[in-house]
């Protein structure tokens, strides 16, 4: 039954993403805020269908830590879930993502209209400079910038070295870094087809001020904040199991 439910959800996810991308492309002449509203509506429906079909819901702790204005959000990356949920969790935003994603028919069309910072991962320092320069421009336009500092999805419980682009962008722009932790990978794993029922827990940490910190110090503070959030999630999950 779990296989069938996951199959139905995956079919819905892929079909709805193509439809949303096509509709956005047809409305290419409309402003960014309208395009983002379409993407956010799509994301709400995806999360609703995920709960309905697979029994996978979510709760968020720390919404009060989202500061006024627009800043830089950085999250651990263990699932496709957080790429959908970001539309709902945070104000109008752009992502740092792989350039190849823009080549996907329909989906890529919609992504392109959301003004992402699309980089070539193999470009090294050039890609970092691109994130900083384009990120400053997006921030100046009043948009949030979403960065997954690990660069790619990793297995739940694992981590990898954080890239420096987000820390450099915070230093160059003076904007806050908002750390986000979640355990989505435990239910919807990287490259995993089956979705386990349960509750994804999200912790939005207190913003990190880049003032007086080097990029390395910012990354250390970010890692500490994300790992602290993950520890809190594990603690909440253990308490929840203990009550059942």
**Tell me: the pLDDT tens digits for 50-104?**
999 999 999 999 999 999 999 999 999 999 999 999 999 999 999 999 888 899 8
**Tell me: the pLDDT tens digits for 28-57?**
999 999 999 999 999 999 999 999 999 999
Q: Sheet containing 93-98: give its strands across.
A: 56-61, 198-204, 177-182, 72-75, 144-147, 93-98, 117-119
β-sheet bridge partners, residue 60: 202
Read off the pLDDT band of 120 (50, 70, 90): confident
Question: Could you give the CA distance from residue 136 to residue 181 in angstroms, rounded to a whole number?
Answer: 24
- The CATH number given to 2-243 is 3.40.1130
Which residue from 88, 23, 97, 103 is spatially nearest to 50, judged by alpha carbons? 88
């Amino acid at each position: 039954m779990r296989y069938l439910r996951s199959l139905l959800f995956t079919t819905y996810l892929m079909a709805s993403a193509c439809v949303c991308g096509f509709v956005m492309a047809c409305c290419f002449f409309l402003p960014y805020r309208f395009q983002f509203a379409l993407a956010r509506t799509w994301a709400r429906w995806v999360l609703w269908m995920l709960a309905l079909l697979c029994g996978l819901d979510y709760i968020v702790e720390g919404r009060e830590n989202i500061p006024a204005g627009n800043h830089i959000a950085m999250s651990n990356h263990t699932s496709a879930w957080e790429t959908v949920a970001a539309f709902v969790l945070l104000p109008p935003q752009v992502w740092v993502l792989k350039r190849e994603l823009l080549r996907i028919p329909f989906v890529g069309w919609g992504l392109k209209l959301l003004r992402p910072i699309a980089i070539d991962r193999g470009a090294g320092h050039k890609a970092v400079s691109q994130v900083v320069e384009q990120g400053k421009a997006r921030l100046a336009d009043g948009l949030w910038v979403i960065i997954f500092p690990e660069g790619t999805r990793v297995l739940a419980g694992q981590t990898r070295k954080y890239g420096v682009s987000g820390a450099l962008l915070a230093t160059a722009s003076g904007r806050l870094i908002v750390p986000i932790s979640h355990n989505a990978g435990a239910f919807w794993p990287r490259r995993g087809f089956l979705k386990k029922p349960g509750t994804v827990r999200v912790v939005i940490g207190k913003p990190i001020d880049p003032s007086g910190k080097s990029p390395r110090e910012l990354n250390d503070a970010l890692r500490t904040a994300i790992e602290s959030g993950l520890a809190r999630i594990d603690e909440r999950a253990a308490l929840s199991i203990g009550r059942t």
